[in-house]
Amino acid sequence: MSLLAVYNTCGIDCSEKLDWYITCIRALLEQDIPDCRVVLSSCRNSDAVCQALQQEFSDKISYNFIEDVVPVNVSFNFTVLRATEHRRYDGYLYIDSGVLTQSNDTVSRLYDIFINNNCGIASVLPSNDVGFHYEQTPDFTQHYVVPLGKAVNNHFQIFSDTLLGYYHKLLPDIFAGHCTESVFTFMCAALKLKWLVHNDSLLVEHICDVDKQSAGFCTHKYVAQTNHPTWDHPFCIPSIVNRLLVKDAVNAGLGYEESRHVLMHDTTQFDSDDYCINDDLKDIIKRKLFLTKEEFPYHSIRHNYYE
């Protein structure tokens, strides 16, 4: 049982909430799960905030202070890559800067369903901004398997080391703004894993926009400048739509932003458990949803990492 808990903050074009950051990190350190390392993934926070956090927590946590302006998908991936240079974990917990755990068994209860249910991803519902795009809200009195093409917003969820082992990164990094979550079920299904949401007996407090949404890469500004739809806001490539809406991806069963009918998955490519039945989808996901070293070299990101 081992977990890397990554608390993600950002200082780009927003007022930093130092006291809130401290409160949230303290709550993570009070979790009752053994063998859990907390790391701060900080993108462009001010020197004053970075120094204050180091003074507060010293070597109780690790730190990745990223100096370049990158989307949170990239900053999270990069922090995981740095943290796993000498040690891998069973799971990697993504934590939105606006999330506060409300009890000291939150992480252990989520980890329990993650490790015992063949999960690629396991999530806890936030108190708001869940991000459903369903005709009818699911029944969350029981643990809920997210169906193919559906999603909840990425606020507090564990990603499996199996995903990292195959895709080499956890969050698809072709996205500058919205829509990442719409491909999570396919990432899991391609490796015969599921995405499970803990029942609503377990929630985390969530405050919207503690750090600015899509900081440094405002989707609405991009749409106004380019006339692209909101689901075609790429990072380091010309177009998400042109990259994904291609014959091999469609034939293998990839879906994208299905709530708005951008790319609907081919149901014949999945079995009754929603696991992919072909050997192509996982490779297509690796090539299409993740940037190559030539498209974006992670090793060139300016940063300071401290264990």
pLDDT in tens, the chain (307 residues): 799 999 999 998 778 899 999 999 999 999 999 999 999 999 999 999 999 999 999 999 999 999 999 999 999 999 999 999 999 999 999 999 999 999 999 999 999 999 999 999 999 999 887 776 666 678 888 999 999 999 999 999 999 999 999 999 999 999 998 899 999 999 999 999 999 999 989 999 999 888 767 777 778 788 888 899 999 999 999 999 999 999 999 999 999 999 999 999 999 999 999 999 999 999 999 999 999 999 999 999 999 999 9
Give the pLDDT of residue 133: 62
Q: Render the chain in DSSP notation, one character per residue.
A: --EEEEEEEE-TTS---HHHHHHHHHHHHT---SSEEEEEEEES--HHHHHHHHHHHGGGSEEEEE-S---HHHHHHHHHHHHTSS---SEEEEE-TTEE-SSTTHHHHHHHHHHHTTEEEEE-EESS------SS---TTS-EEPPTT----SSEEEEEHHHHHHHSSSS--SBSSS-GGGGHHHHHHHTT-EEEE--TTSEEEE-TTSS-TTTTS-HHHHHHHH---TT--BSSSS-HHHHHSSHHHHHHT--B-GGGTSB---GGGB-TTS-B-SSSHHHHHHHHSS--TTT--GGG--EEEE-
Tell how far CA 179 is from the center of its chain.
Answer: 11
Give the pLDDT of residue 136: 66
Second-level CATH architecture of 3-216+297-306: Alpha-Beta Complex (3.90)
- How is the chain split into domains, by residue range? 3-216+297-306
Give the pLDDT of residue 85: 97
| Global model pTM greater than 0.85 | yes
151: left (phi over 0), alpha (psi -120 to 50) or beta: beta
- Other beta carbons within 10 angstroms of residue 165's beta carbon come to 10
Residues linked to residue 4 through DSSP beta bridges, in sequence order: 37, 92
In single-letter form, the type of residue at position 101 comes to T
Rounded to an integer, what distance in angstroms lies between the CA atom of residue 180 and that of residue 129?
15
Give the pLDDT of residue 218: 76
Beta strand 36-43 with 194-197 is unpaired
Give the pLDDT of residue 174: 98
Rounded to an integer, what distance in angstroms lies between the CA atom of residue 149 and that of residue 191?
15
Buried-state track 251-275, b at ≥16 Cβ within 10 A, e below 16: ebbbbbbbeeebbebeeebbeeebb
Give the pLDDT of residue 134: 61
